[in-house]
Amino acid sequence: MRIHILGICGTFMGGIAALAKAAGHDVSGSDTDVYPPMSTQLASLGISISEGYLPEHLQPAPDCVLIGNALSRGNPAVESVLNRRLTYDSGPHWLAEHILKRQQVLAVAGTHGKTTTSSMLAWILESAGLNPGFLIGGVPKDFGISARTGGGRTFVLEADEYDTAFFDKGAKFLHYRPRIAILNNLEFDHADIFPDLASIETQFHYLLRTIPGNGLVIFNAADSNLQGVLRRGCWTPQQSFALAEADWSAKHVAADGSSFNIAYRGKIAGMVEWEMLGLHNVQNALAAIAAAHHVGVEPRLAAEALIRFQGVKRRLEVRARASGVTVYDDFAHHPTAISTTLEGLRKRVGSERILTVLEPRSASMKLGVHSEALAGALQAADRVFVYQAPNIHWDVVAAMQPLAERASVSTDLQELVASVAAESRPGDHVVIMSNGGFGNFHEKLIAQLEQKSASQQ
């Protein structure tokens, strides 16, 4: 079958492309935002990408067009598909029909931590010899790819509550019918499609309706919003996780999360010492261990796998050390994720300076929904630089006022690179936070830092 994917460079649709290719289909795609790591992954698979959404990219007519949820009516390619009556589908529905029917699905849902928890779980299952398939909204370093079909019966899936397609406004995860579901946490996000938290809670309630009675729901016991969802109805056995007071908990936790003991119903079941940081990642690990345990992996073996876990690209990933400055790439785009990431780094680096560069790029950020919480989320940073793109129409300067002289706002990307490079000094940690390509900010900053170092020698 010849499949063309509209929006192929999104992390989810790029994963669909990889799975379709592995299943023997002839795959191509179109997109406007082509940047690593997804563009690199697709190129390595021999999948051709056309720039833009021109109708001629659909010549000759493919057997099926998969349409990403970033596209809507008025898009030239979408209009061509409809006018020519081409066969089309959404990525989630195609995945459910062609890949997941034969698998035991382990789905990871929640506002934060989906990518990292999914990556941990896939790595645990891989280390246990289960050869899982997976589709993850990022690239786990242990695998080097975001999706694969696998050779076993388990399939790990990052389960997103975002809508499916312009013709299917239900949450993506309603297509997946998991047997095991992790509910990491629940906060308001995706303000472009959800009017309030209650509407997101309803989607999570619908997800619970799809999980069989012989499956398992693993939930964060410390999240009151999830408690509310569960009270609306759950027909599946449940296990809880939290740093304390849960079925799966952590004991003797290092301040930066670099080591902890796993406790199952109060009894120590394993120990983890790893390179990951932050208490949020300890919770992510507990959820992954619980899910793996349900498919037969002992906690001790799961702990041994996590000790070797290398993390995920763009999740506080060290991109370079230049001129004595450590430069990180991080995907965080919600105040809670920003805060937990910076607090984890602070506990790791102590009094060393943290400089944070933030691009408010997600749909909710662009709408200014989280503007009042941003300054508080950035408190752990010594210096904050915010890029105000032309499509940001709320008052970024006012939002940063609680940080006083610690924060500055720039509307020029090149000037921002120069400012960060000029202010950085040996021993600093520069955390660049964006869920997009950010105009190759990372590479530009690293180049300027290297030039700065060379000029000082």
Paired residues of 261 in beta bridges: 251, 271
Residue 81, amino acid = V
CATH class, range 2-90: alpha beta
| pLDDT range class, residue 121, cuts 50, 70, 90 | very high
With tokens 């990491």, the residue in question is 184
DSSP per-residue letters across 176-245: S--SEEEE-------TTT-SSHHHHHHHHHHHHHTS-TTSEEEEETT-HHHHHHHHT---S-EEEE-SSS
Sequence-separated (6 or more) residues with CB below 8 Å from residue 301: 124, 127, 128
What pLDDT is attached to residue 85? 98
pLDDT at residue 457 tops 70: no
Structure tokens given for 419: 């400012």
What pLDDT is attached to residue 331? 84
pLDDT, tens digit, 9 for 90 and up, residues 216-234? 999 999 999 999 999 999 9
Nearest to 434 by CA among 369, 366, 382: 366
pLDDT, tens digit, 9 for 90 and up, residues 56-73? 999 999 999 999 999 999
Q: Is residue 106 within 8 Å of residue 291, measured between CB atoms?
A: yes
pLDDT, tens digit, 9 for 90 and up, residues 353-400? 999 999 988 877 878 878 888 999 999 999 999 999 998 889 999 999
C-alpha span between 139 and 119 (Å, rounded): 8
At 184, phi and psi to the nearest 5?
-75, -45
pTM of the prediction? 0.88
What pLDDT is attached to residue 39? 77
Sequence-separated (6 or more) residues with CB below 8 Å from residue 254: 260
CATH class, range 317-455: alpha beta
What pLDDT is attached to residue 128? 98
pLDDT, tens digit, 9 for 90 and up, residues 249-262? 999 999 999 999 99
pLDDT at residue 37 tops 70: no
Sequence-separated (6 or more) residues with CB below 8 Å from residue 222: 242, 243, 246
pLDDT, tens digit, 9 for 90 and up, residues 293-330? 999 999 999 999 999 999 888 888 899 998 899 999 99
Give the DSSP letter of residue 275: S
Give the DSSP letter of residue 414: H
Structure tokens given for 140: 């786990």
Domain range annotation of the chain? 2-90, 99-307, 317-455
In which element (H, E) is residue 412 found?
none
Among 201-205, 331-335, 379-383, the least confident range: 331-335
Structure tokens given for 29: 């795609």
Q: Does the structural domain 99-307 have CATH classification 3.40.1190.10?
A: yes
What pLDDT is attached to residue 138? 87
